[in-house]
Chains A and B, each alone.
Chain A
Amino acid sequence: SAVISQKPSRDICQRGTSLTIQCQVDSQVTMMFWYRQQPGQSLTLIATANQGSEATYESGFVIDKFPISRPNLTFSTLTVSNLSPEDSSIYLCSVWVDTGELFFGEGSRLTVL
């Protein structure tokens, strides 16, 4: 298993600003992901955070809007840039472990005014 600490748990931000979310895992993991859940929607994969190289983004998500850092095998950050109300979502960090299970952080609930 894996224990994931994610912060902030929630935030309210003004339009045009940025928010950085941190994800800390209690063990070294290769596969780390960032998901988003917009209201009424399914969990959608934003990107795979790769250690030592640029993140791999899914269709519809770009680095300029969602820059990701992965300095080591236990930590990652996701920044949501130039915020608009449409970015109001829950953002979740997750890791995939050898058992084939996906573990999640508690999520960061973002409201953009």
Chain B
Amino acid sequence: ILNVEQSPQSLHVQEGDSTNFTCSFPSSNFYALHWYRWETAKSPEALFVMTLNGDEKKKGRISATLNTKEGYSYLYIKGSQPEDSATYLCARNTGNQFYFGTGTSLTVIP
């Protein structure tokens, strides 16, 4: 993998469903992996900064895991709510550069 890739590109789920999406990245020169939540007309909001292989982080109903050896991170949302609708971005930080994926657009249907 040369670039940061996110899948799926978009996702529609029903309120109350749990969901997850993937961020894949080159495992070389790894420093940190960042997840952001970006709502329309707002600033991208930092969710997690993950640095260690095997890291698991949680904030409310949202959690993330990190595998630096194989180069992927998963973001999980438990019991999705309409206010979770946003684009979720991941970014690989090599120490002085951030490389972003194209994001996963999540729509939670009431």
Interface pair B34/A101, CB less than 8 Å apart: yes
B42 close to chain A: CB less than 8 A: yes
**Contacts of B27-73 to chain A: CB distance below 8 A:** 32, 34, 36, 41-44, 46, 49
Interface string of A28-62 (1 = CB under 8 A from B): 00000000000011111100000000000000000
Interface pair A42/B4, CB less than 8 Å apart: yes
A106 surroundings in chain B (CB, below 8 A): 41-43
A107 surroundings in chain B (CB, below 8 A): 41, 43
Range of interface residues on B (Cβ < 8 Å): 20 to 34
A42 to B34 Cα, complex, angstroms: 14
Interface pair A103/B43, CB less than 8 Å apart: yes
Query: Which A residues form the contact surface with B (CB < 8 A)?
Result: 4, 9, 40-45, 92, 99-107
Minimum CB–CB distance from B8 to chain A (whole Å) comes to 14
Across the two chains, which residue of chain A brings its CB closest to B51? A100
Interface pair A9/B43, CB less than 8 Å apart: no
A4 surroundings in chain B (CB, below 8 A): 43
Minimum CB–CB distance from A61 to chain B (whole Å) comes to 14
Query: Which B residues form the contact surface with A (CB < 8 A)?
Result: 3-4, 32, 34, 36, 41-44, 46, 49, 89, 91, 93, 97-98, 100-103
Interface pair B101/A100, CB less than 8 Å apart: no
A76 to B97 Cα, complex, angstroms: 19
A99 surroundings in chain B (CB, below 8 A): 49
A100 surroundings in chain B (CB, below 8 A): 32, 49, 93
Minimum CB–CB distance from B11 to chain A (whole Å) comes to 16
Interface pair B97/A40, CB less than 8 Å apart: no
Other-chain residue from A40, A43, A105 in contact with B89 (beta carbon distance below 8 A): A43
Would you mind naming 22 contact pairs between A and B with Cβ atoms under 8 Å apart? A4-B43, A9-B41, A40-B102, A41-B102, A42-B101, A42-B103, A43-B89, A43-B100, A44-B100, A92-B44, A99-B49, A100-B49, A100-B93, A102-B91, A104-B36, A104-B43, A104-B44, A106-B41, A106-B42, A106-B43, A107-B41, A107-B43
